């Protein structure tokens, strides 16, 4: 599991009293809190695992934190500034965060090579700025070189995979490519939402090692406040025990318990957490 020395740093992301309410069965009368008054913080270079069974509110919470959903109550702050619709903090958070989803093939356009898919976030950023093209130089580095470098970081051989298509890849390889696509923009916050649940067990081990390597590189920053942070969403404590620094356990939209990963693993205080531990797969 990860360890990180960020005691002197301020949280990069804070949620206070976050609440999101949905109508039940389309009724305005019957309302259900998917997330109910949650406080959460994320430190630079930290890996926070949000754990819970299906419907516990973990994905809703992560999307509230990244500004993709508006809370019905509470507030998110990024680098000390409130994340409000149209605010500079909201734009910065959107620019500085990247996502890895459960199904890697949904992140990869079947018509594009892997190299083109991984490059797309950089190309989009270039178009927003000044119309950068594939072979234009960005920050002194050729775009194709950037893509090759990030593919290597996720253990995909650029010579083989730059020109491959998603249909040529296994599930594990596709997820590595999706992770590379997220990493190519050098995000400050990486959200991995159930990144291993759609692939087989042997591929999960490889993806886990890839995520461990990514966090290890982040923690080698000379300035810990510049390290990439990760939020990993899972129902499986067996997966996150190998990578997370801290665990937040959710049930029915509320925090059941939270703390350092080893503390939660060794001394779970709630029967719900013990049930998650008993069902762990890695």
Q: Is the pLDDT of residue 30 over 70?
A: no
What's the pTM? Answer: 0.88
Q: List Cα–Cα distances, 105 to 97, 109, 115, in angstroms.
A: 20, 8, 14
Per-residue pLDDT reduced to its tens digit, 208-256: 888 888 888 887 776 767 789 999 999 888 888 889 999 999 999 999 9
Residue 130 near residue 190, CB atoms below 8 Å: no
Q: Name the most confidently modeled range: 26-40, 167-181, 208-222.
A: 167-181
pLDDT at position 64 is 97
Tell me how far apart the alpha carbons of residues 251 and 165 are, in angstroms, rounded to a whole number. Answer: 39
Map tokens 């009368």 to a residue. Answer: 29
Measuring CA to CA, which residue among 267, 265, 270 is closest to residue 251? 270
pLDDT at position 218 is 80
Residue 84 near residue 282, CB atoms below 8 Å: no
pLDDT at position 219 is 78
Q: Is the pLDDT of residue 72 over 50?
A: yes
Q: Residue 9's pLDDT band (boundaries 50, 70, 90)?
A: confident
Class at the top of the CATH hierarchy for domain 13-278:
alpha beta
pLDDT at position 129 is 58
Per-residue pLDDT reduced to its tens digit, 121-148: 988 876 655 544 444 444 445 888 999 9
Per-residue pLDDT reduced to its tens digit, 179-216: 999 999 999 999 999 998 878 888 888 888 888 888 88
Phi then psi for 118, rounded to 5 degrees?
A: -65, -35
pLDDT at position 200 is 81
Burial 1-27 (b: 16+ CB within 10 A, else e): bbebebeebebbbbbbebbbeeeeeee
pLDDT at position 222 is 65
Per-residue pLDDT reduced to its tens digit, 75-134: 999 999 999 999 999 999 999 999 998 899 988 999 999 999 999 998 887 665 554 444
């Amino acid at each position: 599991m990860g360890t990180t020395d960020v005691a002197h740093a301020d949280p990069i992301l804070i949620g206070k009293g976050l609440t999101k309410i949905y109508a039940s069965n389309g009724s305005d009368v019957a309302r259900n809190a998917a997330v109910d008054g949650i406080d959460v913080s994320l430190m630079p270079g930290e890996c926070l695992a949000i754990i819970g069974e299906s419907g516990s509110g973990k994905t809703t919470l992560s999307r509230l934190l990244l500004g993709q959903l508006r809370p019905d109550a509470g507030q998110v702050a990024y680098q000390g500034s409130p994340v409000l619709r149209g605010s500079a903090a909201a734009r910065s958070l959107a620019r500085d965060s990247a996502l890895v989803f459960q199904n890697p093939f949904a992140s990869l356009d079947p018509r594009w090579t892997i190299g083109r898919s991984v490059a797309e976030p950089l190309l989009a950023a270039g178009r927003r700025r000044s119309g950068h093209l594939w072979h234009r130089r960005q920050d002194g580095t050729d775009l194709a070189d950037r893509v090759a470098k990030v593919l290597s970081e996720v253990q995909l051989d650029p010579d083989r995979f730059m020109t491959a298509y998603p249909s040529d890849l296994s599930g594990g390889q596709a997820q590595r490519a999706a992770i590379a696509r997220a990493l190519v923009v050098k995000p400050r916050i990486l959200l991995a939402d159930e990144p291993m649940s759609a692939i087989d067990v042997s591929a999960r081990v490889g993806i886990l090692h890839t995520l461990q390597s990514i966090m290890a590189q982040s923690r080698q920053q000379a300035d810990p406040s510049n390290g990439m942070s990760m939020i990993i969403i899972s129902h499986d404590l067996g997966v996150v025990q190998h990578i997370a620094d801290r665990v937040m356990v959710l049930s029915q939209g509320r925090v059941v318990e939270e703390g350092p990963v080893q503390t939660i693993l060794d001394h779970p205080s709630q029967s719900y957490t013990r049930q998650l531990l008993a069902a762990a797969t890695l």
